[in-house]
Structure 1
Amino acid sequence: MTTTGTTFFKQIRKIKDDKFSIDKIEQYCLILSVGSRDLQVCIIDTKNNRTLLLEDYIIDATENAEEKVTLLQSLFDHHHLLMVGFWKEVILSFKTDKFTLVPLPYFSKENARTLLKMNCSVDDNDSVGYYKVNSNDAVNIFTYDKAILQWFRSIYINSKIKVTHQSGMLVNSVLQNTPLASEVKVSVFIDRFYLHAAVSQNDHLLLFNSFKITKFEEYIKYINLVLHEFKLSKTNSSIKVWGFINKNSAHFNSLKNHIPAIKPGNRTTLLNFGYKFDEVPEHQYFDVFGNYFNL
């Protein structure tokens, strides 16, 4: 744990591939996934789609954007790579709870905020971003912290920065994750404090929704709601789970008892991983890796 004033951050995961080279920064993609209480860092070599680094941090929670910037600054100051400014591309993914996915024909820049307001409460001072989700004919609209984006831009002035949202990255991951099923498939992602659920068939998205979680039993409740909506069996359907859950844990066993068909999801086949990543369960960091599919 590292302490700076009244804030702190704790690294809970670090994997670094032997093929990482500081001399090749200009061909690397840096992915930063920023949540309210966490940060994931991922580096991918764009020449061979090889994942070179993965780090996961728990950070102090704050609703104040300036305090968040100060906290991130303290983390970056202690890091040997993050202040480097010559990445080929930087992908900044926000994990805010205000977002929507809109079919492309219904979207225009002028009505982005209005469309988002149809799905959630949006304050006048909320910054609204949007981008086309590559794997789906839709636009992801979301809120983000403007001060945080400006701070990142002040660091990576020599790199192209793409701003995305976790929801769109999960859609990318689901719709580009082989093998694609001809039957209806349910994909759930257990996040810290949220459950994200997608229903797809072949390469078509049928549903995506997110649920705020306050206790474990709610994961089971909301998965059952999705299954009921599509009249899917809890014992015979294709149901995959990704995210922050240990497949040998009591929580996973509880999921399995209530929903027998549920199985851990597989890692994407669109990226290459060295042997050091064998210690990372294949069903984890599904959203982080999904950012790379939206280059």
Structure 2
Amino acid sequence: MDITKEKVFKSLKKVKDDKFSIDKIEQYCLVLEIGDRDLQVAVIDIKSDRVLILEDYSLTKTEDEHQKVQVLKALFDEHHLLMVGFWKEVVLCFKNPKYCLAPLSYFSKDNARAILKMNCEVQSSDSVGYYKVNSNDSVNIFTYQKEVLKFIRSIYVNSKIRVTHQSGMLVNAVLSNPPFANENELSLYIDRFYLHAAVTNNGKLVYFNSFKIQKFEEYIKYINLICHEFKILKKEGIIKVWGYIKKDSSHFEALKKNFPVIEVGNRTSKLNFGFKFDEIPEHQYFDVFGNYFNL
């Protein structure tokens, strides 16, 4: 693939608050959430907890880290803000299936790779990262693309860079979103090609897992399995869904038919949004905003 001759990204969504000011960039947090074929960008004012920018891009599928950096570079070179290097914080969040959440009491730096290998296949060439999830006493261990991190560090040399993983950020988002029930409740995040599921009880995480989805019926299968395991009643329990699903879609209606109690989740109350964000459904980009709760 010749990156220089192809349009390797496509803008899917762009929202910008009128309060954004290039002169205040040193008080802003930049969030970059990178998946195999997508990128989300958010800018949040740390002083006011106000979301100022949200963008969503699809990316050309790449074969290795080197190609991924080329794709990102092509996007960054055309972007009016991403090459600016004076953000107060930069959060680089990776989206991939190689991760685990380990209790803090069982974790040490020396056994991070060994713990991860108990949960997924890890190659000797894979880079392994970890960090404490702020919302509970766990450590998120995951693989990441070293060349991508190197590229990001080369741009934001004056900013503090934090490296996270989508799974931990979803946990943050769920556990930073009261009120909490004193019974098992199921929080679902429908991503592109994945279903992420968290079970909580009284504000404590009981379970978290991700499932690769190839056809719609698999959503129903996995949700049924979780409801059965944690005794969440399909007609009386608590099930909330966030992510890439429309409330008026046939897919949501199918979920509602199988799980009558399912409801679309709300946007976090810990961040502020101007009227420009009214065009974005409140249940979307829940994971992106979760990154802000790990600063």
| 1:233-244 correspondence to structure 2 within 5 Å | 233-244=233-244
Aligned to 1:110: 110
Letter in 1 for 2:206: L
Q: Distance in 2 between matches of 1:157 and 1:63?
A: 27
| Alpha-carbon distance, 1:4 to partner | 4.6
TM score, norm. by length of structure 1: 0.98
| Alpha-carbon distance, 1:13 to partner | 0.4
Q: Distance in 2 between matches of 1:236 and 1:134?
A: 31
Q: Distance in 2 between matches of 1:192 and 1:91?
A: 21
Letter in 2 for 1:151: F
| Alpha-carbon distance, 1:53 to partner | 0.3
- In the alignment, is the contact (CA less than 8 A) between 2:185 and 2:232 conserved in 1? no
Matched position secondary structure for 2:8: strand
- In the alignment, is the contact (CA less than 8 A) between 2:182 and 2:202 conserved in 1? yes
Aligned to 1:257: 257
Q: Distance in 2 between matches of 1:102 and 1:36?
A: 24
Greater shift in the superposed pair: 172-181 or 22-31 = 172-181
Aligned to 1:177: 177
| C-alpha distance after superposition, 1:176-198 (max 9, x if no partner) | 10212222110000000100000
| Alpha-carbon distance, 1:7 to partner | 4.8
Aligned to 2:17: 17
Letter in 2 for 1:288: V
Q: Distance in 1 between matches of 2:19 and 2:211?
A: 39
| 1:1-295 correspondence to structure 2 within 5 Å | 4-295=4-295
The gaps in structure 2 that reach 5 residues or longer are none
Matched position secondary structure for 1:236: coil
Matched position secondary structure for 1:18: coil
Deviation >3 Å, runs of 4+: none
| C-alpha distance after superposition, 1:189-245 (max 9, x if no partner) | 000010000000122100000000111111111111100101211111110000000
| C-alpha distance after superposition, 1:129-185 (max 9, x if no partner) | 000000010000000000000000000000000000000000001111021222211
TM score, norm. by length of structure 2: 0.98
| Alpha-carbon distance, 1:20 to partner | 0.1
Q: Over aligned residue pairs, what C-alpha RMSD do you find?
A: 0.9
| Alpha-carbon distance, 1:6 to partner | 3.4
Q: Percent identity?
A: 67
The gaps in structure 1 that reach 5 residues or longer are none
Tell me the number of residue pairs that the alignment of Structure 1 and Structure 2 aligns.
Answer: 293
Letter in 1 for 2:281: P
